[in-house]
Chains A and B, each alone.
Chain A
């Protein structure tokens, strides 16, 4: 079994038990609703409440998304730094999800602040028959505003939606265009910053303002 490899210190194991939903049914439903709205309206920022208090290096939004979407049937990929933290124990206790080191086997992947974004194509991209079998990436940024503006178009956006997340790699629009070209396959993206999040489903196209 993937667990049981490390016995966390007492302090760490105590931290693993803290910070979950106090009222899992209703609080996770509230987060789910916010996520659903964010996916349906790509680029619009949703702010979550503080119902989840995850251990470092996860932000509140990352933690809330994790405990809302993960369960015993999902495999989750974490960065090596997050894998070495108390986060795997915290996720395991509160959601039952197992951590995998295989990006292509992960239904969800989390990249915390300060970590580089792995190539999108290294994750599960789904199949033509089952495009839903792709990875949903959750990526923490310094802020969801203040960066170079990008124009988003696609389902859920009437004309265009401007987003300006800070901290994305300069090559991101190219990576996203490659992902978009795989449609209906491809990954979906949730960008988080603190308690905020916005979604970029694979159906959304992005252009830099100059293009």
Chain B
């Protein structure tokens, strides 16, 4: 068998210089949303995109680290399952997807969307997707925070009797 071959000399395209902050935000929502949401956005913006696998999708482990005392030097807490994929579009962009769990298809979809984000022709749609998804995730977080807030203890001091 021959090694994976593809155009290695493709120059950086205009628009593929990515804002790492935005790219990280995209990856954060892709990791947390249900897989169906990734399927629907992909079907909406690029249903026929041509994909070449570079690595995976594959499932493995990441050793999760904590800090001694919460803020000291690191220690190994235990492992978590992680699935990841790297894909290349026929136009050359390389996308990475990685998330907790064993859903390899989810990781592959995340990688495709990361690659599409770099291509430039869907940046508007993907930026809107990031904003909407973050709002949706924030809403779920707010709900949990509000449920927790309702269990907050309001202390009141007992009035002592007069002598």
Taking Cβ atoms with an 8 Å cutoff, the residues of A that contact B are 10-11, 13-15, 17-23, 27, 50-53, 93-94
Contact = CB atoms under 8 A, between A and B. Distances in A.
Contact of B5 (A13, A18, A51): A18
Nearest to B5: A18
A8 to B, nearest CB: 12
Contacts of A13: 94
Contacts of B7: 14
13 contacts: A10-B10, A11-B8, A14-B8, A14-B94, A15-B8, A17-B54, A17-B94, A20-B4, A21-B3, A22-B2, A22-B4, A27-B1, A50-B3
Nearest to B62: A72
A19 B3 contact: yes
Contact of A19 (B1, B4, B86): B4
A91 to B, nearest CB: 13
Given A22-B2, A22-B3, A51-B3, A14 B10 contact: yes
B88 interface: yes
B55 interface: yes
B8 A50 contact: no
A11 B4 contact: no
B88 A20 contact: no
B55 A93 contact: yes
Contacts of B150: none
Given A23-B1, A93-B55, A18 B12 contact: no
Given A17-B54, A17-B88, A17-B94, A50 B11 contact: no
A14 B9 CA distance: 7
A72 to B, nearest CB: 9
A52 B8 contact: no
Contacts of A11: 8-9, 11
Nearest to B63: A72
A14 B93 CA distance: 9
B6 interface: yes
Nearest to B54: A17
Contacts of B5: 18
Given A14-B8, A14-B94, A93-B55, 11 more contacts: A10-B10, A10-B11, A10-B12, A10-B16, A11-B9, A14-B92, A17-B88, A19-B4, A20-B55, A22-B1, A50-B2
